[in-house]
Structure 1
Amino acid sequence: MSDPLRPRASLRTAVVWEVLKDALDRRVKAVGQGPGEGDRAPGVLDVLDTGGGSGNFAVPVARLGHRVTVVDPSPNALFALERRAAEAGVADRVRGVQGDAADLFEVAERGGYDVVLCHGVLEYVDDPAEGLRNAAAALRPSGTLSVLAAGLGGAVLARALAGHFTEARQALADPAGRWGAGDPMPRRFTPEQLTGLIAAAGLEVGAVHGVRVFADLVPGVLVDTEPDALDALLQLEAAAAELPAFQSVATQLHVLAERN
């Protein structure tokens, strides 16, 4: 995935980025404009990006002036993060450390972050509930958690439209939402499953959005050749994102939650 601020990549990231940016703005106002905590300047948030890889969201967040710690198990991804942050001129606001969600507090501070991003993590960890508990524990009081995870409905719909009806049915029946042994995704979630896990971690669930409801189904050539098609599709994605009927068939699910 490319930088969410680049127009072509926005088909996959626009909904998440707009929701996240608004959440960061609200958190800045909640923290207040008084003296910062410790060495933190007023209006600057401490953000933890678990599984943040090469900085797809971390670098744009740092461009807004916030300090971002990225935790990822891949040395190659962290190297790419360092390079991307330097190219964006935010190397002083982005720190990458090697680690994973299960052992988060070996490399990150418990209760030390205003916002935690948990994007593309829960599909791969051995225990999603544990991963969410750790993410919640990393938050400061009233902090915000942003979760992005694979949606079951989108996968079922995609397999069915491709003519793989048996695989679509298998995904519906499988506890992990997988369509077969060749499925590269270890786990998928329904909106109810994902919000239930977040609530069980002691967080208050806020906005839920469906991501990539149409983007993965529309032929790329149509978007690239039809005038204004990209903008129209982006507007359609944004309009459908908050509607439960479309969340149930989205490729990804995005949830905002807060620590009480």
Structure 2
Amino acid sequence: MTKIIAVLNHKGGGGKTTTTINLAAALQLKKKRVLLIDMDGQANLTESCGLSIEEEQTVYGAMKGEYPLPLVELKNGLTIVPSCLDLSAAESELINEPGRELILKGMITKLLDSRKFDYILIDCPPSLGLLTLNALTAADFLIIPVQAQFLAMRGMAKITNVVEIVRERLNPGLSIGGIVITQFDKRKTLNKSVSELINDSFCDKVFKTVIRDNVALAEAPIKGLNIFEYNKNSNGAKDYMDLALEVLKLK
């Protein structure tokens, strides 16, 4: 059965796209069929996969009902639904659509009638607007990457509140799969303090795996590669494989 995972943090720079692409690559190395959906109007995931942000068909056209979700198969075996800069306009364009929070869920359901994936990972925009609501309504689990910085902690309560509302009104099957601490440097006292605070506050919702601060993770998307293609021996590759092993246990 397909597991759908939304990756969200409404503060930019927290490792959301990095987590989406590298978790997907790790799951694929574990012989899972993985689909990526780029729901962010910045299209960082699309570019990180080596695609142009001017693909002919994107999630934007699909959300507007022009065609089904367009699938682009990458050389590394992953499949992606690309985004484009126009997607940001979808928030206002779809505001009067009936059932507007359910558009993505409906398209994924149709897609799964003909194509089977073990995992679908949705890279959400760094906001809590309509596109994010679509992702949360379609998802089984939410993964929240949190940078090991104090300010990154401040938005957590807002996200958990939104999850409760979505669960109550739109998607009772949604649960928080886990919080993953990113850009962690054990030599920094602040990083350690924030990590302890997150663990104390969210207890069993925090993944044991911590994504260490690693320059290879920043360099890989510039080449249009995931961390395993770029440097499979890096700390980044080890950490995301460990995270994937935890994600495989989500039920």
Using CA pairs under 8 Å that are at least 6 residues apart, name the structure with larger relative contact order, 1 or 2. Answer: 2
Interval of TM-score (by shorter of Structure 1 and Structure 2): 0.3 to 0.5
Q: TM-score, normalised by structure 1?
A: 0.37
